Structure 1
Amino acid sequence: MAKKGILLINLGSPRSTDVKDVKEYLDEFLMDEKVIDYRWIFRALLVRGIILNTRPAKSAEAYKTVWTEEGSPLIVITRKIQKKLQEVVDVPVEIGMRYAEPSIETGIRRLVEKGVSEIVLFPLYPQYAMSTTETVIEKAEEVRKKKFPGLKIKYIQPFYHRDIYINCLAESIREKLPESFDALMFSYHGVPERHIYKTDPTKTCNMNDCCYKEVNPSHQFCYRHQCFSTTERVIRKLGLPEEKVMVSFQSRLGKDKWIEPYTDQTLETVPAKGIKNLAVVCPAFVSDCLETLEEISVEGKEQFLGAGGEHFYYIPCLNDDDRWIDVIRTLCEEKLSQFYLV
């Protein structure tokens, strides 16, 4: 029988906090046409002509605030997930990053060197987006066709709505929520509005009420809908009233319109509305990283408190929580079993 393996994919991180390494990482990341979806010449002018001349130094300083003795938090946490998962499954487990090392190609090669010919590839993103799930699958297919043509890969689909994930996320939030809070903010990574339309092959999305319809053809491709759906399912599980919950979108880049409301603007306005004690969770991420540890728990906290807030509580990602490892194991084993059905 063919030997099987699991490849966990996360975003990636610079090799170090050195400006040169950060610049190299940002170049690969931002030059991805699934991230900044301009024609190559305009993307290059923006990224290499403007962004990479100013942003790397600032980003390097931000990375220094979250870097650990072991390295990048995202890489360290993903390796911990790999180790824990390997202890509960009987097939080899490797990791790969969409950007920088260990790359997707590196992860695949390590599995192939162990004799693996059938891989379950798991993009560690609960919701589907062009700049996350789609670019991972596209890159993996590119590598497979060029370097490993005999390899079979099955991809785990977005799991934002799966009960095992919702239960896990809800319990993690419940344990970390303060006894007293005025509101719980779900801050998701933002994307440009045009990405929502581009990823909708059904052309039924109107960026308005369709996200809230029980059934709509675009839901399986709509990041915005999937974020709202995750929130709705979690607050139902937690038994929270809707008036104590907010949804916002962070990390926007450039002047294009991104999906709203924006996290930074929300943090600056809600204290005036009587929300003085705020808890924030970031369910677009399963591993804590720069966007959660620095952008939210440091910058976001400063924005909120500076606007008159009194207490700010950041709720960590699932990271290597044993319940989350069990979710990963279950989803992987479901997909592994499909190889036997071919």
Structure 2
Amino acid sequence: MSKGVLLVNLGSPDSTNHKDVKRYLGEFLMDERVIDVPLWARTLLVKGIILNTRPKKSAEAYEKIWWEEGSPLIVLSERLQSKIDDHTSVPVSLAMRYGKPSIMNGLQELYDKGVKEVLLFPLYPQFAMATTETILVLAEEIRKEHFPDMKFITVPPFYNHPDYIRTLANSISEHLDGKDFEHLLFSYHGVPERHIRKSDVTKSHCKIDGSCCQTASAAHQFCYRHQCFETTRLVAEYLKLKPNTYSVSFQSRLGFDPWLKPYTDRTIERFGKQGMKKLAVVTPAFVSDCLETLEEIAMEGEEIFHEVGGKDFTVVPCLNDRQEWVKVLSRWVDEWAHQTPVEA
């Protein structure tokens, strides 16, 4: 059976044009796994309120980080896909959950090459309803309708895979080499607290009380919060970081419901007010730099830090198409293609 790989990332508007940004936000925010309320309420919230106010602000943010070649997320994802394709024995295609190229187009591209068994590869280290799960659900819907003879094998979240931890740690070490910083903040994308409870397969473990993430449970297989803390713990262990020199926060909240805490913006502000002068930030929920890393952290985060007295603000780039990362992913692909498990 012919094999192939579909890398899937989040997505981006086609341009910084207001209409393109509005179209993208509409697709993204109407996803029931992003805003998980009844359709009528989601429609009222998204189409009646958010899409009448947010696109202008988002378009301005995209304009700040847009590259000549296009969206940084798309460009970097394309570079990664191209390099992996060059290093592996099976065809590798790229898709976005929202926007272009679509999952439908990515699967069609592989199908046209005779691929019948697809390694579905969500480019998210940690599992979440609004990232990994929505990709898997949509891909399966498309497979059933358009490619019923295709078979999917899914790459599990790799938040604790030794190869990923080593590569992330090496990237952090390289970019902070020679820089004198007081604290390393691991900033992860935020999700509503209810998403954590909804993903709890035990229906009782996840209490978000400060201890459940450190207590062994089957819930951890789908617990975004646990996986973020575990990534941090393993990287800190690898880098031999001293206690109290690193911490975790969550960014990009939306609406008024409680989201995972502590919030990144308030954490950065608090550090500055406490007299911290040199802060470094890494964003391990993303493998490709995007609006959330390039604008929200590298621009807004730095502005907040400076406003409250901070001096040096260093942002560690995502893994992007880093050569070590390309080699890791290429090896995982070839191990799968030759029937060797990719799990740790």
- Please say if residues 154 and 335 of structure 1, whose CA atoms lie closer than 8 Å, have aligned partners that are also in contact: no
Alignment match, 1:179: 179
Pairing 1:123-134 to 2, within 5 Å after superposition: 123-134=122-133
Q: Which residue of 1 aligns with 2:254?
A: 253
One-letter code aligned to 2:100:
E
Partner of 2:202: 202
In the TM superposition, residue 334 of structure 1 has moved relative to its aligned partner by 3.5
| Aligned match of 1:9 | 8
1:134 is displaced (CA, Å) by: 0.3
Deviates more, 1:300-309 or 1:198-207: 198-207
The answer for unaligned runs of 5 or more in structure 1 is none
Match of 2:80 in 1: 81
Equivalence for 2:189: 189
Give 1:274 deviation, angstroms: 2.9
The 1-side partners of 2:308 and 2:274 are apart by: 11
Asked whether the 8 Å contact 1:7–1:93 carries over to 2, the reply is: yes
Query: Equivalent residues in 2 for 1:63-102 (5 A)?
Result: 63-102=62-101
The one-letter amino acid of 1:24's match is R
Q: Percent identity?
A: 56
- On the 8 A contact 2:118/2:153 being kept in 1, the answer is yes
What are the equivalent positions in structure 2 for 1:245-324 lying under 5 Å apart? 245-324=246-325
Structure 1, residues 234-255: CA drift from partner, whole Å, max 9, x if none? 0111111121001100000011
Question: Could you tell me which residue of structure 2 aligns to residue 168 of structure 1?
Answer: 167
Offset of residue 338 of structure 1:
4.0
Instruction: Give the conservation status (yes or no) of the 8 Å contact 2:5–2:121.
Output: yes
Q: Which runs of 5+ in 2 are unaligned?
A: none
In 1, Cα distance between equivalents of 2:145 and 2:86:
32
Distance 2:44 2:243 in 1: 44
Alignment partner of 1:152 is 2:154: no
Residues 1:339 and 1:111: Cα distance change in structure 2 (over 3 Å) = farther
SS of the aligned residue for 2:53 comes to helix
Q: Distance in 1 between matches of 2:302 and 2:179?
A: 19
Distance 1:175 1:243 in 2: 21
Indicate conservation of the 8 Å contact 2:289/2:320, yes or no: yes
Tell me if structure 2 keeps the 8 A contact 1:122–1:332. Answer: no
* Larger displacement relative to structure 2 (266-275 or 230-239): 266-275
Alignment partners' CA distance in 1, 2:276 and 2:234: 23
Cα distance, 1:95 vs. partner?
0.2
| Counterparts of 2:332 and 2:41, CA distance in 1 | 40
Q: Report the 3-state secondary structure (helix = DSSP H, G, I; strand = E; otherwise coil) of the residue aligned with 2:120.
A: strand
Structure 2 residue matching 1:87: 3-state secondary structure: helix
Q: Residue type of the partner of 1:112?
A: Y
**1:269, 1:131 → 2: CA distance?**
29
- Aligned-partner Cα distance in 1 for 2:276–2:329: 36
Listed one character per residue, the Cα deviations across residues 71-117 of structure 1 (whole Å, up to 9, x for unaligned) are 00000000000110011101111000000110001000000011111
Q: Tell me the equivalent position of 1:222.
A: 223
* Residue identity in the other structure for 1:212: Q
Partner of 1:38: 37
Per the TM alignment, residue 221 of structure 1 is displaced from its structure 2 partner at its CA by 0.7
Letter in structure 2 aligned against 1:241 = K
SS at match of 1:218: helix
Give 3-state SS (helix, strand or coil) of 2:314's partner.
Answer: strand
| Worse-superposed segment, 198-207 or 257-266 | 198-207
Paired residues of 1:169 and 1:318 also in contact (CA < 8 A): yes
1:54-65 equivalences in 2 (<5 Å): 54-65=53-64
Residue 90 to residue 334, structure 1, CA distance change in 2 (3 Å)? closer
Q: CA deviation at 1:179?
A: 2.5
Per the alignment, residue 213 of structure 2 pairs with 211
> C-alpha displacement at 1:11, in angstroms?
0.2
Distance 1:273 1:142 in 2: 50
Distance 1:43 1:333 in 2: 42
Looking at structure 2, the residues matched to 37 and 77 of structure 1 have their Cα atoms a distance apart, in angstroms, of: 30
Deviations for 1:283-309, whole angstroms, at most 9, x for unmatched residues? 000000000000000001000110111
- Cα deviation, 1:112-147, whole Å, max 9, x if unaligned, reads 011111110100000000000000000000000011
Aligned partner of residue 157 in structure 2, secondary structure: coil
Q: Secondary structure at the match of 2:261?
A: coil
Counterpart CA distance in 1 for 2:100 and 2:70 is 13
Checking the alignment, whether the CA contact within 8 Å between 1:81 and 1:325 is kept in structure 2 is yes
TM-score, scaled to structure 1: 0.97
> What is the RMSD of the two structures over their aligned residues, measured on CA atoms?
1.2
Q: Give the C-alpha shift of residue 205 in structure 1.
A: 1.4
In the TM superposition, what is the alpha-carbon distance from 1:201 to its structure 2 partner?
1.2
Give the CA deviation at 1:217: 1.4
For these two proteins, the number of residue pairs brought into alignment is 338
Secondary structure at the residue paired with 1:294?
helix
Q: 1:329 to 1:156 in 2, by over 3 A?
A: same
Task: Please give the TM-score of this superposition, normalised by the length of structure 2.
Answer: 0.96
Question: How far apart in 2 are the matches of 1:317 and 1:156?
Answer: 20
